[in-house]
Amino acid sequence: MNYNRIAIIGAGNMGGALVKGWTKAGLAANLAVTAHTKRTLDRLTEACPGISVTLDNNEAARGADVVVLAVKPWLVGQVIEEIKPVLTDKLVVSVAAGVRHERIDVYVMPNIAAEYGQSMTFVEEAPQATAVAELFGRVGQCRVVPQRLMDAGMMMAGCGIAYVMRFLRAMMEGGVEMGFYPDEAKQIAMQTMQGAVALLRETGLHPEAAIDKVTTPGGITIKGLNELDHAAFNSAVIRCLKAGLK
């Protein structure tokens, strides 16, 4: 794909994470970034030397090959209207949740771990999806999926970050109740989670098979696991993921 010029319209949590991730991937000189306020752009320029910034969406989009819309969903239509005249030969990509528009070529659902090259991104099937997946692949893993799976992807990976944070927070609170300071409890919870992920990645095991490895019959791990079952943990997670589906 031609990375010559990428305009990112809206540099908040998501747009900013993409800009920082692409900057780390060596694309700073290719990025033209906009926001509503100069303050946001000043902060971003400090974090990402080499990017171009402007408060003028038309100016950023005019020189771009790819225009990434990263404003709040309710602003997408308004922003497209504003820059429509310069969009004629551009590839228009949107990361806005749940917004459809005739001028958008490719729908993408990344998450904010893009800043650290760790996004789980979904790209909706479209003629240019592979090229777009290549670009978003610079900031993490990318999957091209049919439209019917985009919302599921959003719930698992876009919103999923928040759900994982809740689990981490719950572990922290348990740790604090048992005597660790909050920071220690956070480090312990994060490292345990990282270890669990590494185990699955390295072995390819199903989570239940990994659970068997740490569960002694009559031991203490099974007591905790059964408490989770009594509290309907599985069901709560499944309902959480499905809550945002239309």
Query: Which residues contact ligand NAP (rule: CB under 6 A)?
Result: 9-15, 34-37, 40, 57, 70-73, 75, 79, 95-97, 109-112, 158
Q: Judged by CB, which is closer to ligand NAP: 32, or 129?
A: 32
Q: Judged by CB, which is closer to ligand NAP: 91, or 95?
A: 95
Least Å distance, CB 231 to ligand NAP, is: 28
- CA distance linking residue 120 with residue 154, whole number of Å: 9
55 Cβ neighbours under 8 A, 6+ residues apart: 34, 35, 36, 37, 38, 41
Least Å distance, CB 244 to ligand NAP, is: 11
> Contact at 8 Å (CB) between 58 and 83?
yes
Backbone angles phi, psi at 233, to 5 degrees: -55, -50
Q: Judged by CB, which is closer to ligand NAP: 110, or 175?
A: 110
DSSP assignment, residue 97? T
Least Å distance, CB 183 to ligand NAP, is: 25
Give me the sign of the Cα torsion angle 35, 41, 43, 46: positive
Per the listing, tokens 């005739």 go with 102
Least Å distance, CB 36 to ligand NAP, is: 3
Q: Judged by CB, which is closer to ligand NAP: 36, or 103?
A: 36
Residue 31 CB neighbour total at 10 angstroms: 25
Least Å distance, CB 240 to ligand NAP, is: 16
Q: Judged by CB, which is closer to ligand NAP: 91, or 120?
A: 120
Least Å distance, CB 103 to ligand NAP, is: 15
Q: Are strands 31-34 and 66-69 parallel, antiparallel or unpaired?
A: unpaired
- CA distance linking residue 153 with residue 43, whole number of Å: 30
Residue nearest ligand NAP by beta-carbon distance: 12
Q: Judged by CB, which is closer to ligand NAP: 50, or 73?
A: 73
Least Å distance, CB 107 to ligand NAP, is: 11
Q: Which amino acid is at 218?
A: G
Give me the sign of the Cα torsion angle 208, 212, 214, 220: positive
- CA distance linking residue 152 with residue 133, whole number of Å: 18
User: Between vectors from CA 160 to CA 140 and to CA 44, what angle results, nearest 5°?
Assistant: 55
